[in-house]
Amino acid sequence: MRKLATLFTDSYNEFKYVRTITLTGMLGAVSVVLGYLTLELGETLKIGFSTIANQIVYYLFGPVVGGAFGGALDILKYLIKPTGPYFPGWTFGAMLAGVIYGILYYKKTITFRRVLAAELLVSVICNMLLGTYWLTLMYGNAFLQMFWLRVQKNLIMWPINSLIFYSIAKNMEASGIFRAMKGSRKNTTGL
């Protein structure tokens, strides 16, 4: 429990650095742009790439920054390109996903098992359970009917999303990009 509290405290302290705010802003912009590069493989199956930039934020800055980033980005994406009515449940789900990814990635070595576990946890909690519940509240559809469709989609996408992020993250780690992004922590004011 103490490790978890330290993880949250360290992530909260990331807000002290101008580099954190700058990088999250830039990666947020990348995420918005990547959101337009979605491959639609059918009516309900889409492969999107915007989560790659999001997961880099969660890995670099942890659950507190990740939760704030997820919520802010959800609202920003809605303002840029609304797809239906705004519903705060989706923002909560995005924040929760940021916290979950942040807990599992922050200050830890990226392994394929860890990425698979994080993807599965977010898929089950945020996408299958909460996402289906939000759709039920918004549109009045039957929960179980929608749930099984969402389970199928998420189980198909789970290894694909995991492999995409793992491959990119390992290459960025090996090339020193993550180290460069984190940079020095000496200057907290940016002045």
CB of 61 closer than 8 Å to CB of 106 = yes
Between residues 191 and 20, the one the model is more confident about: 20
Q: What are phi and psi of 106, to 5 degrees?
A: -60, 125
Q: How many C-beta atoms lie closer than 10 Å to residue 180's C-beta?
A: 9
What is d(CA 107, CA 35) in angstroms, rounded to the nearest whole number? 27
Tell me what percent of the residues of the chain surpass a pLDDT of 90. Answer: 69
Report CA-CA distances (Å) from 86 to 28, 38, 135, 160. 19, 21, 12, 28
Locus of tokens 């039920």: 136
**What is the DSSP track for 90-151?**
HHHHHHHHHHHHHHHHTTS---HHHHHHHHHHHIIIIIIIIIHHHHHHHH---HHHHHHHHH
pTM for this prediction: 0.89
pLDDT at 98 over 70: yes
Q: What pLDDT sits at residue 191?
A: 41
The mean pLDDT of 18-26, rounded to a whole number, is: 95
Which pair of tokens denotes residue 61? 């800055």
Q: What pLDDT sits at residue 93?
A: 97
Which range (33-37, 95-99, 159-163, 166-170) has the least confidence? Answer: 33-37
Locus of tokens 């790439």: 49
Q: What pLDDT sits at residue 5?
A: 93
CB of 46 closer than 8 Å to CB of 162 = no
121: buried, middle or exposed (CB in 10 Å: 19+, 13-18, 0-12)?
middle
